[in-house]
Structure 1
């Protein structure tokens, strides 16, 4: 079985390739699809075939998927363009006769109030319409997303957000990468919707405490109102679209969009998910 991992030169994609190799998949059976092949020479040196695979260039998608059995479609990073990009990949996969797709969606996509959700829902709908068997990997928050918050906390001693008492069941990128590898290798997972979350949810006071532990200084959580948040982001020079996105994200977290006690992720990867402190420590 030949597996193509898209966005394989990115932070998650590389870890998925690593996880496939760790599960005993031969490097010759893994294809790394990347926008710029020169950025994946390290994968080629490990025996992984590297192909151009640009979500905005359909010809590369068609060529890259020739002879591919399974596809791990890592969601793109260009918010606002992802529906069209993902549909191009799905269409190419269907035309190439791919027999299974694993897609990295967002936690609770169809009910989520997060501003990230609509593009993921549209992609899930495109998968359903494609006729290609698929498994949805609805990932909760990546703890590594807090790298900027921890860096600022190391300087200011403060993590400020308008999330109230909202909790986040985050996990590390490696946890989600291992889940993607496990799912794409298991025929029984096709047709499933996997809601993937960390074993232990945390509030932002706990995030501040974890940041204090890894930075070695006192860090406190400063709750903000939405107006305060918008004022601060405006002062930082962010544009109105970005400010609205961040405000909506915080509002979704405050409303519980990322809270969970689900243990599907740890069950899938066969170990507890990475703790908050353990995931934050390499970011310092």
Structure 2
């Protein structure tokens, strides 16, 4: 059985392929990437797969593929159109099953990111191709990336208030995708994937403080002030506003879930917050 992964050279894609190679022969894995040369170190077959290509070109890249992991694109605002072409190409190529990385509680989420995921889920349903929806929660790395600055400036800033965030490590979601892709019996299912233990940004700040021996408190900001602070740190203003909006969503429970599907799929507890912080440090 041939298993293909889009976005294979991205952070999640690389982790999926590394795990998948422990489950199936490398010869069964196809890395799909905009630049196949960047996939040379993955140790599997690499094919060009650029969302900007036409459906026919994308279908040719999927020749012989039985199952496709469609990792959601990174270009917010363009993803529905990109995913539509990928799904149409998969249907033309005779792909038998698609596994898609969506967003936690996409159908009810208030986050601006949710719309394109809901639209893609609808496209999959309309395609008639058997599929699995992996509704990934927040990556712990989304916050871990701010740890260095928090230590440097003596405070962790955000707009999530006391909102509980069920963020797991990227490798946890990658393992779940690998498990589903390499096994049968998941078609037709939607999994809400989240960490076993949720945390607040105050919890994150406390963990940073404990591991560094420095006092790094959490400082809550308004949405506007947080966006301005991010923009001041060099993040493009539009994206800074989006990040601040997602934090506000977190304050209202948008990133929290009690579902244990993730740890069930991967056969172990999800990576604890202390390990995420340790890795970042």
Indicate whether 1:258 and 2:255 are aligned: yes
How far apart, in 1, do the equivalents of 2:105 and 2:239 lie?
23
Q: Mark the runs of 5 or more structure 2 residues left unpaired by the alignment.
A: none
1:69-148 map, 5 Å = 69-148=66-145
Which residue among 148, 155, 166 is the counterpart of 1:169?
Answer: 166
Residue of structure 1 equivalent to 2:147? 150
State the 1:160 CA deviation: 0.8
Which residue among 31, 49, 54 is the counterpart of 2:50?
Answer: 54
Q: Give the number of aligned pairs.
A: 280
How far apart, in 1, do the equivalents of 2:91 and 2:224 lie?
46
Indicate whether 1:181 and 2:178 are aligned: yes
Indicate whether 1:17 and 2:13 are aligned: no
Cα pair 1:52 1:60 within 8 Å, conserved: no
Cα pair 2:144 2:276 within 8 Å, conserved: no
More deviation, 31-40/184-193: 184-193
Residue of structure 2 equivalent to 1:244? 241
Residue of structure 2 equivalent to 1:40? 39
How far apart, in 2, do the equivalents of 1:50 and 1:214 lie?
40
1:165-244 map, 5 Å = 165-236=162-233, 238-244=235-241
**CA-to-partner distance for each residue in 1:102-122, whole Å, 9 max, x for gaps?**
101000000001111111111
2:263 is paired with a residue whose SS is helix
How far apart, in 2, do the equivalents of 1:177 and 1:157 lie?
33
State the 1:238 CA deviation: 5.0
Which residue among 254, 258, 276 is the counterpart of 1:279?
Answer: 276
1:152 is paired with a residue whose SS is helix
State the 1:153 CA deviation: 1.1
**CA-to-partner distance for each residue in 1:54-87, whole Å, 9 max, x for gaps?**
1111354222100000000111111111111111
Cα pair 1:213 1:277 within 8 Å, conserved: no
TM score, norm. by length of structure 2:
0.95
More deviation, 185-194/85-94: 185-194
Cα pair 2:154 2:216 within 8 Å, conserved: yes
RMSD: 1.5
State the 1:228 CA deviation: 2.5
TM score, norm. by length of structure 1:
0.94
User: Kindly tell me: are residues 158 and 124 of structure 1, through their superposed partners in 2, closer, same or farther at Cα, counting changes over 3 Å?
Assistant: same
How far apart, in 1, do the equivalents of 2:191 and 2:278 lie?
28
State the 1:167 CA deviation: 0.9
**CA-to-partner distance for each residue in 1:256-281, whole Å, 9 max, x for gaps?**
01111211100011000001111222
User: Kindly tell me: are residues 95 and 144 of structure 1, through their superposed partners in 2, closer, same or farther at Cα, counting changes over 3 Å?
Assistant: same
